[in-house]
Structure 1
Amino acid sequence: MAPGETGASVGVPPGARGYERFGGRVAEFTSQSEPWWPASPRPADAPNVVVMLVDDLGFSDLGPFGGEIPTPNIDALAGRGWTFSNYRTAPMCSPSRASLLTGLNPHRAGFGYVAHVDPGYPGFACELPADAPTLAESLRAGGYATFAVGKWHLTVESKLHDGADKSSWPLQRGFDRYFGSMDGFTSLHHPHRLISDNSPVDVREFPDGYFLTDDLTDRALGMIDDLRANAPDKPFFLYYAHTSVHGPIQAKDADIHRYRGAYDAGWDAIRRERFARQQASGIVPADAVLPADDLPDAAGIRRWDDLDADERALFARHMEVYAAAVDEIDQSVGRLTARLSELGELDNTIFLVLSDNGGTAEGGPSGTRSYFAQFGHDSDVPADWVRDVPRDPALIGGPRVFGQYPAGWARVSNTPWRSFKSSTYEGGVHAPLVVSWPDAAARPGLRDQFVFVADLAPTILELAGIPPLAARGGMPARPVDGRSFAASLSDPEAPGRQAQYFECVGRRAYVDGDLKAVSPLQPTVDEGAAGGAWELYDLAADPTETADLAASRTADVARLAARWRDAAWANTVFPLDDTGQLHTVRPESEAVLSEPVFLPARRPVLERFRSARLTVLRSFRVTADLLCGPDAAGVLVAHGDQGGGYVLAIDDGHLALGYNAYGDLHRARSLAPIGGGPHRIELALDELDGLRWRVAASLDGSEVAVIDAVPMLLGMCPFTGISVGYDYGGPVDWDQYERHRSYPFTGGDLRGVTYLPGPRSAHDPTVLRAMDAAVAALAD
């Protein structure tokens, strides 16, 4: 049978069945006869392990895969290691991460989608199963120190707040130390929220020149240095999960400057140049065909020559920033390898560099400087909705713009594959992988074995000589789906994976040897699990999926569609989202997050999702009782950042209201000074037709500052959470920030503010269901 179809991969081999409550769900597991035993002691001179995972990096963005962006440090790893040309991953980030860390197929690891849904189904739990040991847990049991920095994105968003059950946080899943962003992405100049181990980092503002990629690398180096100061011989596992190059795409000015003019030739020319280098190096077969512009999944990309001069300048700037961000990733590799070399440990370090999925077309045909205006929400916005608030292109990449490059550059990133992130065509799943281990007794080189992300954990454990944990939490570990590809390092002819299913938002694919069946649209209820329109490609003759053979090879289509269905049942892929409920149904336990709450002043920023439950797609009120002295000044409450948000402050004695509509700033001020003494201040945001708010600030019952109608902040915006008594991190109003920085409130007594959520918008499709009660009844 193919991987993903065995009884072990189902997680329900023959035998007794039982249930274990975790996270408000039922986890199915099987009783096994093998007893639990601890991992054996680590081998002498066990290798360090570094896994560097990059977010949304396309197949061709690195030098070893045909890219023109200088990546000398990654090139050096590839030169003394192995470049895998046939590595595939899940089409989106959380599923890939869950599979990487557990060795399970994505849905069996609980992640059929990113960690922003919670419909109550095992394949979409958005939490790692309680009976699935992580790579970090197995390595730690084998004597390793375990470190993680960067993006986590393996905790369902309703459990990211400070009062949540932390069983799915990094330290509870095998890491000794953690520093980074738990959410799916963040600003690199002003992170929306940072976590150190299990606690938020209490920082009010970031210094000029702060950059998260550098901070993550500093933290990783510090963890290694701290270990070596105390345990010189203890091996370590470092999981470095970059927040770059996920949107908003940002970089440092000096790095951006180096790429000025580098992309003026346009995306058509750069794509052809990358393709030529790939064919010359053997990364792509010499007879492969570059997919044409007229494919249905070409995302409306125009020819570069058809753009006007302003569009070319704007779009080129987007790619200059992206290239600088990739350069910065390579710099982080260089800093790590330099430190390991200084320690004399580089040769005995297994180093992996890889991407979690293909490059993304979420920027649309023209890109955007207003990331949240078109990303992270499913609302049907009005026809006059502005998806790209015009601003000076020179600001792109800096702290004032939340940008995303156009789809034309995403297609370049994915050269030579078609389509993009979230697709089950090769552009969504065919990603770069470099493995380096100088101490290995094997010659470096190019490898073309089919490797899937679930294969990484078993391979690392085999190379490190550490057995996987046989149990977790008193339960037998569920059998993994991954298979070690360690043999391919020494044997270029060693067999790779034969077969693998793929699924993302109903888009399906199944690879079996050289054949690949793709269904780019989910089937209807009437069509059934294996129904709908299927395409068929011979990847040996047509690796870039340009010639659909489905009409002439119907038997093969039917066979692979049936195998996809069988693998889907085995891997908890169902239900497919044919009704939209995976994105609308959530547990009723989240209702408490939308109840009125008092937020004390000067505390760390409230977490993003917790803040959003009080404000997004609803009317709401914010009230504050304060005592003002004659010199009272500063922020009363702020929510959001340069990507969108609102702020209320006392400035020069007046009540000052600011509303940032995805980069378009609106302001209003009270005509008269507020005066000293006690005051009741209220901020009201009331829904209007067309997904708009009326924003008004009142002083002692009278409206004194009004913004009549502004676009609502939707989805994941405001991204930075609520701060009281100061404006945390990325400011809502940049001019105010330049004058006052975080503008802490002084000259009065502000205890806090109260949020009073009002009625939910009719545009909010969320349905809260009593899942916990149903699960409890099932468990009984």
Structure 2
Amino acid sequence: MAQDQFHGRIGRTYDESEPWWPEQTRAPDDAPNVLTIVLDDVGFGQLGCYGGLIDTPNIDSLAEEGLRYNSFQTTALCSPTRSCLMTGRNHHSNAMAGIAEISTGFPGYNGHIPHENGMLSEILAEEGYSTYHTGKWHLTPAEATSAAGPYDQWPLGRGFERFYGFLGGDTDQYTPALIHDNHQVDPPATAEEGYHLTEDLAQRTIEFIGDTKQVDPDKPFFTYFCPGACHAPHQVPAEWADKYAGEFDMGWDEAREQILAHQKELGIVPEDTDLSPRNPDVREWDSLSEDEQRLYARMMEVFAGFLEHTDAQIGKVLDYLEEIGELDDTLVVVVSDNGASAEGGPDGSIDENHFFNNVPESLEDNLEAMDELGGPDYFNHYPWGWTWAGDTPFQRWKRETYRGGTSDPLVVSWPEGIEARGEIREQFVHAIDLVPTVLECIGIDPPEEIGGVTQSPIEGTSFAYSFENADAPELHTTQYFEMLGTRAIYHDGWRAVHPWPLGTPMTAEDLSATSLEDSGWELYNLREDFSEAHDVASEHPEKVLELAQLWWAEAGKHNVLPLDGRGVERLAEERPEPGRPRDQYVYYPGGQYIPENAAVRVLNRDHSITADLSIPVGGVEGTILSHGSKSGGYSLYVLDNHLRYVHNYVGKEEFEVVADEPLPEGELQVRMEFETTGEPNLDEGLGTPGVVRLFHGDDQVAEGEIPKTIPITMGLAAGLSCGRDALNATTDVYRDRTPFEFTGDITRVTVDVSGDTVVHPEAAMEQIVTRE
């Protein structure tokens, strides 16, 4: 505290002086707690209280005690929506047009949320709130997620006082890549011991709240609870999935009919709502074989169990708040970040890394895995027929700007602040409206500056006006949408949609909005057609032109331009990296797990791994360097005092080379050399074959063929660790001994990648956009 800020009196002695303490920042006396719960990839028609076929009693209870909105909109993608929820600004205004992994060097697209767009956490921390985040973040630039930072876009750099969760788009529910505050931590237990990430996150949320409330019970909290469910992998203990045995045997076509009927019964959609047209990408259920139906139904059972399990963890948090007397004065908001996900493709997947690497999955192999889906051995995702059903009554899904991609559940409960109970609201609400609504409920104005940074205007509109008045005219009357080249615009009950296939370059002619023939816009009157089932563009050409022009005007305001429909080229854009490209990467034991985007890339190139070791009397064992996961990767390790190298081909096969003789005692340099012996066939899921040679010093001690290697990526849950296999063991050989730490001393490990590499940009782009 500076001398000129002291308001007491300082004399020569204490008797001549008057002490003074600065006044503590306190929230307004009647300020509520705020609990924002963000579900992941949960569609409009999947929660029970929205007509879904899955039991979600805790969220349903919140709806009974509060309000459900049937016109809540998101951006159609994860990170962009979350940026809106946290800042009250549009996703392009936040530079988060997509996810940071596909950033480009333009203001709306660079993946760095400006500090002048302050987050709700930053606002409330300065207003005397405790601020906590548990779960998925995915708002840090891709190049800044390693221990090298910078940390200003990590949760603790954006106003949260405590954080426990993961930085990326998804993670394994049994072996997650966990961050506690600003450092990595190991999961506190194993799958065999009953660990599951969502349960862990709920318990941490309770602990964070309890830690403060028992010391300062009058201090309100803002808790941002984001389980990461139900994003892939769909993983849940078997008993939760088994509850739904047989419940989805009717298939996705009949499921859509049932869900719509439930929605009408609940009043969540108008009585005259039609199902949107059949999705041409989805096969009719009755056209599938019995084996396909059996497998796909089980995949949906697993998803259903995953969602109900998540609801149960939400229930634990709500029960705790009720137990400590805080629930009635907590503004609880439950949303999903986008429509249901179609990233499982037409047939679903037991491990999405097969898909990313163009490795075909056979029905026979997947049927063999069926009974274990949801467990720790698989990284599964249901087929997109269930996605389509999950977005009932709308068409399409996540990543597209039809309502199937942008319309999501919104449940609001605040017993002491909202008198209405169990009612439905039809006013248009967008993700950018959450921040101004929370601020109005608390009774504070948006700050002019945060941390010395002048703030930009909030672009959302509070929807608190609708809490007690179902018939109040909506205040958010115009909203643009843009996602990966697809566009839409909402204005006064009308919605125009311009679909665009991902990865298709756009020309000036393609973007023409001056004639109906060239523009490709569809038009829907949502006052009469809630589900966007009937395109009336040909009947109202003047309205199409009006809305198309309005879209361009809104795009100009919010950094949407230049409109970018590229796929491969967008991936190939130069962007900041965590370090300068180099031929040698040096790693040390005891450091943090290095995320995939920051780790050395060895695929499809000659490379070597050299380790400086100290071998004690009696020999050693353990991991020297591991990169990947159960879904694919490699490991240089020691077992029975013999140097070994294993290449795990996308979780399907393992190829191992073992030294002929044991490691000698004392100081020793060991080396693995990989020499490519052929060309990759990336389109067919085959990386370069090669020969692996192992060395003790200059003496070769082993040689073996690696007939096929991972072609494109180690996978979303991959990473590199030195001296241990940090998370999800790369090989079955020591999986039951994870992390299989090295028992000798490692001075350093050097990976040389001076050989050329090969990339498959189309497949890499598909991998990146599924990290939402």
- Give the structure-2-normalised TM-score: 0.88
Kindly tell me: are residues 587 and 529 of structure 1, through their superposed partners in 2, closer, same or farther at Cα, counting changes over 3 Å?
A: farther
Aligned: 1:474 with 2:452:
yes
Contact (CA 8 Å) 1:669, 1:704: kept in 2 or not?
yes
Matches within 5 A, 1:283-432: 283-293=268-278, 295=279, 298=280, 300-375=281-356, 381=358, 385-386=360-361, 390=366, 391-432=368-409
Contact (CA 8 Å) 2:489, 2:547: kept in 1 or not?
yes
**Deviation of 1:218 (Å):** 0.9
> Match for residue 133 of structure 1?
118
> Match for residue 484 of structure 1?
462
> Match for residue 62 of structure 1?
47
Deviation digits for residues 580-638 of structure 1 (CA, Å, limit 9, x no counterpart): 44322123555515552211123332223211x43356553322133445432222221
Deviation digits for residues 438-490 of structure 1 (CA, Å, limit 9, x no counterpart): 00242121111110000011001111112222113433210111000001001
Kindly tell me: are residues 328 and 374 of structure 1, through their superposed partners in 2, closer, same or farther at Cα, counting changes over 3 Å?
A: same
Contact (CA 8 Å) 2:712, 2:759: kept in 1 or not?
no
> Match for residue 753 of structure 1?
749
**Deviation of 1:690 (Å):** 1.0
Q: Which of 677, 688, 694 is the equivalent residue of 1:693?
A: 688
Matches within 5 A, 1:551-590: 551-580=538-567, 581-587=569-575, 589-590=577-578
Q: Which of 399, 406, 430 is the equivalent residue of 1:452?
A: 430
Aligned: 1:464 with 2:455:
no
**Deviation of 1:495 (Å):** 2.1
AA partner of residue 397 (structure 1):
G
Deviation digits for residues 187-215 of structure 1 (CA, Å, limit 9, x no counterpart): 00001x21111111156974632111011
**Deviation of 1:517 (Å):** 1.0
> Match for residue 497 of structure 2?
518
CA–CA distance in 1 between the matches of 2:53 and 2:528? 27
> Match for residue 8 of structure 1?
none
Aligned residue pairs total 715
**Deviation of 1:666 (Å):** 1.5
Deviation digits for residues 162-181 of structure 1 (CA, Å, limit 9, x no counterpart): 11211111111111111100
Deviation digits for residues 363-406 of structure 1 (CA, Å, limit 9, x no counterpart): 1110011212324x8xxx5xx75588645212211111111110
CA–CA distance in 2 between the matches of 1:685 and 1:645? 17
Q: Which of 29, 32, 38 is the equivalent residue of 1:53?
A: 38
Q: 319-328 or 677-686: which moved more?
A: 677-686
CA–CA distance in 2 between the matches of 1:123 and 1:283? 35
Q: Helix, strand or coil: the match of 1:609? A: helix
Contact (CA 8 Å) 1:188, 1:213: kept in 2 or not?
yes
Q: 485-494 or 618-627: which moved more?
A: 618-627
Deviation digits for residues 314-353 of structure 1 (CA, Å, limit 9, x no counterpart): 1112111111111122112211111111111110000011
CA–CA distance in 1 between the matches of 2:46 and 2:187? 34
> Match for residue 28 of structure 1?
none
Kindly tell me: are residues 242 and 659 of structure 1, through their superposed partners in 2, closer, same or farther at Cα, counting changes over 3 Å?
A: same
> Match for residue 15 of structure 2?
none
Contact (CA 8 Å) 2:249, 2:293: kept in 1 or not?
yes
Unpaired runs of 5+ residues, structure 1, are 1-37, 767-780
**Deviation of 1:539 (Å):** 1.7
Contact (CA 8 Å) 1:506, 1:576: kept in 2 or not?
yes
CA–CA distance in 1 between the matches of 2:362 and 2:499? 26
Contact (CA 8 Å) 2:43, 2:408: kept in 1 or not?
yes
Matches within 5 A, 1:60-99: 60-99=45-84
CA–CA distance in 1 between the matches of 2:298 and 2:566? 40
Kindly tell me: are residues 278 and 619 of structure 1, through their superposed partners in 2, closer, same or farther at Cα, counting changes over 3 Å?
A: farther
Kindly tell me: are residues 758 and 385 of structure 1, through their superposed partners in 2, closer, same or farther at Cα, counting changes over 3 Å?
A: farther
Deviation digits for residues 725-762 of structure 1 (CA, Å, limit 9, x no counterpart): 22111112235313x3322222x433331122234534
CA–CA distance in 1 between the matches of 2:261 and 2:299? 23
CA–CA distance in 2 between the matches of 1:627 and 1:515? 71
Q: Which of 585, 598, 614 is the equivalent residue of 2:586?
A: 598
CA–CA distance in 2 between the matches of 1:244 and 1:462? 29
CA–CA distance in 1 between the matches of 2:540 and 2:603? 49
> Match for residue 622 of structure 1?
609
AA partner of residue 314 (structure 2):
V
Contact (CA 8 Å) 2:342, 2:384: kept in 1 or not?
yes
Aligned: 1:631 with 2:619:
yes
Contact (CA 8 Å) 1:350, 1:435: kept in 2 or not?
yes
Kindly tell me: are residues 243 and 588 of structure 1, through their superposed partners in 2, closer, same or farther at Cα, counting changes over 3 Å?
A: closer
Contact (CA 8 Å) 1:617, 1:764: kept in 2 or not?
no
> Match for residue 665 of structure 1?
653
Q: 697-706 or 158-167: which moved more?
A: 697-706
AA partner of residue 320 (structure 2):
R
Deviation digits for residues 549-585 of structure 1 (CA, Å, limit 9, x no counterpart): 2223222111111111111111101112245443221
**Deviation of 1:69 (Å):** 1.2
> Match for residue 709 of structure 1?
707
CA–CA distance in 2 between the matches of 1:283 and 1:683? 62
CA–CA distance in 1 between the matches of 2:362 and 2:447? 48
> Match for residue 6 of structure 2?
none
Kindly tell me: are residues 205 and 74 of structure 1, through their superposed partners in 2, closer, same or farther at Cα, counting changes over 3 Å?
A: closer
Contact (CA 8 Å) 1:58, 1:355: kept in 2 or not?
yes
Kindly tell me: are residues 588 and 436 of structure 1, through their superposed partners in 2, closer, same or farther at Cα, counting changes over 3 Å?
A: closer
Aligned: 1:720 with 2:724:
no
Contact (CA 8 Å) 2:647, 2:654: kept in 1 or not?
yes
Q: Helix, strand or coil: the match of 2:338? A: coil
Contact (CA 8 Å) 1:727, 1:744: kept in 2 or not?
yes
| Aligned-residue CA RMSD (Å) | 2.4
Deviation digits for residues 631-663 of structure 1 (CA, Å, limit 9, x no counterpart): 322222211112222222222343333322222
> Match for residue 528 of structure 2?
541
Kindly tell me: are residues 763 and 486 of structure 1, through their superposed partners in 2, closer, same or farther at Cα, counting changes over 3 Å?
A: same
Q: 624-633 or 45-54: which moved more?
A: 624-633
Q: 509-518 or 148-157: which moved more?
A: 509-518
> Match for residue 13 of structure 2?
none
Contact (CA 8 Å) 1:205, 1:742: kept in 2 or not?
no
Q: Helix, strand or coil: the match of 2:634? A: strand
> Match for residue 739 of structure 2?
742
> Match for residue 770 of structure 2?
none
Deviation digits for residues 664-702 of structure 1 (CA, Å, limit 9, x no counterpart): 022223262334243422152747321313352422453
Q: 235-244 or 586-595: which moved more?
A: 586-595
Q: Helix, strand or coil: the match of 2:446? A: coil
Deviation digits for residues 272-311 of structure 1 (CA, Å, limit 9, x no counterpart): 1111100111111211111232x4xx4x321222222221
CA–CA distance in 1 between the matches of 2:221 and 2:466? 24
Unpaired runs of 5+ residues, structure 2, are 1-22, 763-772
Q: Helix, strand or coil: the match of 1:511? A: strand
Contact (CA 8 Å) 2:148, 2:578: kept in 1 or not?
no
AA partner of residue 763 (structure 1):
V
CA–CA distance in 1 between the matches of 2:557 and 2:167? 30
Kindly tell me: are residues 266 and 589 of structure 1, through their superposed partners in 2, closer, same or farther at Cα, counting changes over 3 Å?
A: closer
